[in-house]
């Protein structure tokens, strides 16, 4: 059984004035215990919306969300609180998600106060001290305030707070995007070490190909509210099947001097998020698109045992 399973999830936001934003359109994906599924895609593709839906911070317009087999959308408040102990989130801006007037011990211990209300103060203190050490902070940091820390230390606090209740799944929404490169590498290493020790599943959201390549077991490539390609990351990086994935990789990876093929490029502007289309969301920008792509219902379809692509002619090499 998967840890997290989203089936046919769509999310529409209604703006004042009645305009609809189609943030997610019929997305299905799953995350297994101990694995990292990376969600990658350009700004506005729906990554954060999907992450927030997984925790039921927002609710889908259609579709189902299951966590360890339980229907998350039907949970009542006490059960939802219990779920939140097992399903945590880490945000991009550590400082903004930490209360500046609380000491680190209280920030990190707060989820225990909520989710383990019958834990004794001494046990809570011991658990906080243990987690502070696990994330590589000095014990005396417990008395400090967030404003006294560097960006990297603040993100370590965000991680400590997320793991203190021993979650099974953590959603990481661009957890290293605001950090300097050297600090970023340390935080990614810490996340990998914690995953190896604790066996957590990660839903890792990022628009940075290099980060995703480093952290992920599988990837789901998103474009305009849909997952257009998914598979083991090694295979997707080595042999991208969807023209959007090909363009994304070509734009980010160094050009091989021996390669004669020019990098794949997308033309034109992205489809407006206020338009819902039946066909391919890349139609109009796709270098290999045909008229049928606009008319055919293009959905994620298996191309082999482990990979799926939403394209009428997957694997066409874009030049």
Tell me how far apart the alpha carbons of residues 246 and 249 are, in angstroms, rounded to a whole number: 5
Please, which residue, 167 or 175, has the CB nearer to Mg ion? 175
Asked whether position 46 contacts ligand ATP by CB under 6 A, the answer is yes
Selected from 45, 48, 168, 216, the binder of Mg ion by CB under 5 A is 48
Tell me which H or E stretch contains 223.
strand 218-223
Contact 164, 111 (CB under 8 A): yes
CB of 41 to ligand ATP, least distance (A): 6
Site for Mg ion in 93-132 (CB under 5 A): none
The structure tokens 């363009």 sit at 247
CB atoms within 10 A of CB 269: 8
E-state strands within 33-124 = 36-40, 62-67, 70-71, 87-90
Does 49 sit near Mg ion (CB under 5 A)? no
Instruction: Note whether 214 binds ligand ATP by CB under 6 A.
Output: no
Return the residue of 60, 158, 273, 314 that touches ligand ATP, per CB under 6 A.
273
Contact 222, 302 (CB under 8 A): no
Minimum Å gap between C-beta 146 and ligand ATP is 23
The count of residues interacting with ligand ATP (CB under 6 A) is: 14
Q: Is 310 in the site for ligand ATP (CB under 6 A)?
A: no
H/E stretch holding 228: strand 226-232
Pick 172 or 187: Cβ nearer Mg ion: 172
Q: Are 14 and 70 in contact (CB under 8 A)?
A: no
Residues making contact with ligand ATP (CB under 6 A): 13, 15, 21, 23, 41, 43-49, 207, 273
């Amino acid at each position: 059984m998967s840890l997290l399973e989203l089936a046919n999830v769509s999310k529409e936001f209604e703006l004042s004035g009645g305009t609809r934003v189609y943030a997610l359109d019929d997305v299905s994906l799953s995350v297994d215990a101990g694995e990292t599924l990376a969600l990658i895609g350009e700004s506005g593709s729906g990554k954060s919306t999907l992450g927030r839906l997984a925790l039921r911070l927002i609710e889908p317009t259609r579709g189902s969300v299951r966590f360890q087999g339980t229907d998350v959308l039907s949970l009542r408040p006490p059960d939802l609180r219990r779920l939140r102990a097992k399903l945590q989130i880490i945000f991009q801006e550590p400082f903004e998600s930490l209360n500046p007037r609380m000491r680190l011990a209280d920030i990190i211990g707060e989820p225990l106060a909520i989710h383990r209300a019958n834990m004794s103060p001494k046990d809570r203190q011991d658990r906080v001290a243990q987690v502070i050490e696990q994330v590589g902070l000095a014990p005396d940091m417990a008395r400090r305030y967030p404003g006294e820390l560097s960006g990297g230390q603040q993100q370590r606090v965000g991680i400590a707070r997320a793991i203190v209740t021993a979650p099974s799944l953590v959603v990481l929404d661009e957890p290293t995007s605001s950090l300097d490169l050297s600090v970023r590498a340390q935080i990614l290493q810490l996340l990998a070490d914690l995953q190896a020790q604790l066996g957590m599943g990660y839903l890792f959201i990022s628009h940075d190909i290099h980060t995703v390549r480093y952290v992920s077991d599988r990837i789901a490539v998103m474009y305009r509210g849909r997952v257009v390609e998914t598979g083991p990351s090694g295979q997707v990086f080595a042999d991208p099947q969807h023209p959007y994935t090909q363009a994304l990789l070509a734009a980010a990876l160094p050009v091989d001097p021996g390669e004669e093929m020019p990098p794949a490029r997308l033309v034109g502007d992205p489809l407006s998020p206020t338009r819902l289309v039946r066909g391919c969301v890349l139609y109009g920008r796709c270098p290999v698109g045909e008229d049928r792509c606009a008319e055919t219902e293009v959905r994620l379809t298996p191309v082999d045992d482990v990979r799926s692509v939403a394209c009428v002619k997957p694997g066409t090499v874009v030049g």
